[in-house]
Amino acid sequence: MGRREGREGPSGVRALLGSGLATLTIPGRLEQRLAMGLGSARAACPAGHGGDSQPHGPPNLTATSFADGAVYALGGMGADTSPQALVRVYEPAKDHWQPLPSMPTPCYGASAFLQGNKIFVLGGRQGKLPVTAFEAFDLETRSWTRYPSVPSRRAFAACAMADGVVFSLGGLQQPGPHNFYSRPHFVNTVEMFDPAQGVWRKPTRAIRMREKRADFVAGCLGGRVVAVGGLGNQSCPLDSVEGFSLSQKKWEPLPPMPTGRCSCSSCLTPSLLFVIGGVAQGPSGAVEALCLREVP
């Protein structure tokens, strides 16, 4: 596990937009500004008028990146705390945001990832109510597709794709709209979606994560699905790390983070998982990377 802090960042950066998650892959100086404090990209994110550069955007966004360096910002929370369905793309060469077709389901606190030419968005919240939507935006056709809903009601979960399977991990379990007496609680749930079959696999207790956590970083590294940091049933952010071996089909503890954090951003490279910023006892500027050997 290595650590570095300061202005420099890896070739792709995940940055925090408000209290939501953003994944940015932007080269050069703009990347450095984003790594330090989001730079002009956050300032230019439009609140509701396509193509205009405005100083105030939705304070809570979920975003993901495309290989050409464009930034896609999806959904989030409006100034009045209402869930948003806005989708915008930022092109660094033009320093400009453009509107795209809105999300079918407005939400914030969702998890998102890029696979091929599609951005997948799972779960989230609308106010205090959970969202189970599972949707994908096709970057080529610029259209949305709905998939079978996420089986359980969780916000601030994390997701990753490995071996052709979508993993939806952990999060804050939300009671249903008619269950007024149940409180949200952290979970170690693991749910898997098989795109080839178009179905969610039946979850089992055997593949649950070792620790209950939400608002954490996930990725696929060294033949494992990895869960890093987050919030759990303790008074401070977690420093624990665990990995699900794709070959052995079980979770195992991994070296802990030097700085326990939640609300982090991340950047995955072939050999490293960078964990960037977030919240420790307060806002953190830590940049740390996990390196794992391939599981035999």
Would you state the pLDDT for residue 92?
Answer: 86
Domains of the chain: 2-215 (2.120.10.80)
pTM to 2 decimals? 0.78
3 state SS for the chain:
CEEECCCCCCCCEEEEEECEEEEECCCHHHHHHHHHHCHHHHHHCCCCCCCCCCCCCCCEEEEEECCCCCEEEEEEECCCCCEEEEEEEEECCCCEEEEECCCCCCCECCEEEEECCEEEEECCEECCEECCCEEEEECCCCEEEEECCCCCCEECCEEEEECCEEEEECCEECCCCCCCCCCCEECCCEEEEECCCCEECCCCHHHCCCCCCECCEEEEECCEEEEECCECCCCCCCCCEEEEECCCCEEEEECCCCCCCECCEEEECCCCEEEECCECCCECCCEEEECCCCCC
**pLDDT tens per residue across all 296 residues of the chain:** 433 333 233 333 333 333 333 333 323 333 333 333 333 333 344 444 444 443 334 445 665 555 467 888 898 888 888 999 999 998 888 898 999 999 999 998 888 888 888 999 999 889 888 899 999 999 999 999 999 999 998 889 999 999 999 999 999 987 666 666 678 899 999 999 999 999 999 888 899 999 999 999 999 999 999 999 999 999 999 999 999 999 999 999 999 999 999 999 888 888 999 999 999 999 999 999 999 987 66
Q: What is the pLDDT of residue 62?
A: 60
